[in-house]
Every structure is written in structure tokens, then in C-alpha cells.
Homo-oligomer: A and B are copies of this chain.
Amino acid sequence: MKLGLNLSFATKRWLNPEKLAEMCKRDFGVRYIQFTWDLIDPWWPEAQRDALAQRYQKAFREQGLEITATFGGLAAYTYAQLLAPTKEEKEISYAFFKRAIDMTAAMGVDVIGTPIGGMTHEDAVDPARRNELYHIALDYLRKLAEYGREKGIKEIQIEATPLATEFPHSPKESLHLMKDLDGTTAIPVKLLIDWGHALYKPLLKEEADMELWLKTCAPYIGAIHIQQTDGMLDRHWDFTKEGIVTPDLIKKATKNAGAENIIQYLEVVTAFEEFDDVVYENMKKSMEFLKDVFKQ
């Protein structure tokens, strides 16, 4: 089993690339790093943005760590992106994701991922409009795959989210999205499945079952986010908290779905006002805990 680390925990706390890379190596002992756009906004002016992105890449490489992907974070997730109500907003989102591809390519990273976006309430409750927006999103994903290929990107990962107002949010719908895209994109488009999204009971009910998700979507899973949760909200807790993501469940679901070779990135989202020292200690303990679980 393969453990990785999303840099979400470092948002507005550890913004010195060299010190962050050293922390990830020395204190967390992780190898695979998923870089979050919450550290660098793809909207930032290219020259300064890419110089900082390259400084992160250099810092992590010098520690012997591998940035295997870049991924959308909280800031990007705040906006409706490709499922926005107007053509103009969707075009803005398309421009944003192209900038994220540019930044990823500038870092020398060849995998990029994100949730697709969210629908305004009026669209989300209108079946015809949902269907229309779904197909528009497919077209944008194909255009992004083409743009990604031109820039040297090898794979795009779409994150399933725990919201009925977003695509995809269930095992079947995730599979359906993958089949609709399969063979129609310039580079592979795969899924990222998050433990906390997959186990969100208020929406998914009996489908809140990670093994079901992993088995249903098996050929299309590019990566996994791991977090602790109680299944009642999308918690993104670290593993010092009590929750339903147990060592037994992690090992069983991963093994039964044959997902041992898929990287599972710990993605912790803390309250901004949590003290840095507390976040650091809990991250350290969580990585120790998970490294023990992931030992084969």
C-alpha cells in the first residue's frame, strides 16, 4: 500500500518551501507529495507564480521527495467552476484550469486533479439543466485534456465529492463519467476517491462504503485521499481524532479492491484558527499511525 501527503495542512502555516520539504521528509517520513493550489493560486501572475512553484519543486527534490501531482484546494473549491450557471463563468473556470495546468507543467509535474465544480441551486434541482451542464462539463474536460497533452501533462484526476449538486457524487455516477470520457480524451482522465467523501452517510446512505466505491470504479482510480471522519460531515480530520476510518477498514477495502498500488494522500483540513503547534503534532502522529497501517 502506498501512502502520500497532500500539503493542505501547510496552508497559511508553513509557506517556506525548504522548511516545509524538510518537515515532510524528517518529521513525516513521506515520499509522495500532492501539491495543493492553496499554496499557490493558479490565477497569480505567471512569472512569479511559476518561479515559486519551481522553488517548491527544487526544495522537495533536494529532500528526495516526489511531487506526484498538483490538486485543487479550498480556494478553488469555493467557486462553481465548470458547473457555474453562465457561459461566462464556465469560460473563466476553463481559463483557470488551463492556468493550473501551466503551473503544474512549470513545476515539472505531470498529473493534475480537481473537483469539477458545483451547480447553483436552481440548476441542481432541474433534471434537464443538470443533464445539459453535465455534457458541457464533459466537453470542457476533453478540451482540458487536449490542453494538458500539449503541455506535457499525462493524467487528469477528477475528484468525486459528497454533494448532490456536483458531479460525480456516487459510485455509479463516477463510473458513468469515466465511461463517457473513456477513449474521447487526449490524455487519460481518472478519478480521485476521498475516504471522507465516500463515507458521507447523509447523502450516500447504504452507498457510504469505501470498498463499494473502490470496486465499482476500480479501473479508473488514479489516486485516493485519506482522512479521518465520522461520516456525518466531510471532516478532513487528522488521525488523532476518533472516527470510522480504522486500520482494519483501510487495509481490507484497499486489499479487496486491489488498490494497493494507488497512492492514498492524507488530506487534512484544519480550522484556520487552530494553533500551528497543535497542527504539527497531530500531523506527525497521524503520519506515524498511517505509516504503520500502510506497512505491508
Per the bound structure, the CA–CA distance linking A14 and B84 in Å amounts to: 10
A92 engages B45 (CB within 8 Å)? yes
Residue of A48, A124, A161 with highest tally of chain B CB at under 10 A: A48
Least distance between A11 CB and chain B CB atoms (Å): 6
B95 pairs with A45, CB closer than 8 A: yes
Of residues 32 through 48 on chain A, the ones whose CB sits less than 8 Å from some CB of chain B are 38, 41, 43-45, 48
Residue of B nearest to A118 (CB): B12
A57 CB → nearest B CB, Å: 16
Taking residues whose C-beta sits less than 8 angstroms from the other chain, chain A's interface range is: 35 or more
Find residues 48-93 in chain A having any chain B CB closer than 8 Å to their own CB.
Answer: 48-49, 51-52, 73-80, 84-86, 88-89, 91-92
Q: A202 to nearest B CB, angstroms? A: 8
B15 and A163 contact, CB distance less than 8 A: no
Complex Cα distance A296/B196, Å? 46
Can you list 29 A-B contacts with CB-CB less than 8 angstroms, sorted by A residue number? A11-B78, A12-B78, A12-B80, A12-B118, A12-B165, A13-B120, A13-B121, A14-B120, A14-B121, A15-B84, A15-B89, A15-B120, A16-B120, A38-B78, A38-B79, A41-B79, A45-B92, A52-B88, A52-B89, A73-B78, A75-B75, A75-B76, A75-B78, A75-B79, A118-B272, A162-B273, A163-B272, A203-B273, A233-B273
- Residues of chain A at the chain B interface (Cβ within 8 Å): 11-16, 19, 38, 41, 43-45, 48-49, 51-52, 73-80, 84-86, 88-89, 91-92, 95, 118, 120-122, 124, 161-165, 200, 202-203, 233-234, 271-273, 275-276
Q: In the complex, A84 Cα to B15 Cα: how many Å? A: 8
CB distance from A86 to the nearest CB of B (A): 8
* Chain B residues with CB under 8 A of A52: 86, 88-89
Distance of A208 from chain B, by nearest CB (Å) = 12
With A52-B86, A73-B78, A162-B273 given, can you name 7 additional A-B contacts, CB distance below 8 Å?
A13-B165, A118-B272, A121-B276, A163-B273, A202-B273, A203-B273, A233-B273
Residues of chain B within 8 A of A276, CB atoms compared: 121, 124, 165
Residues of B within 8 A of A49 (CB): 92
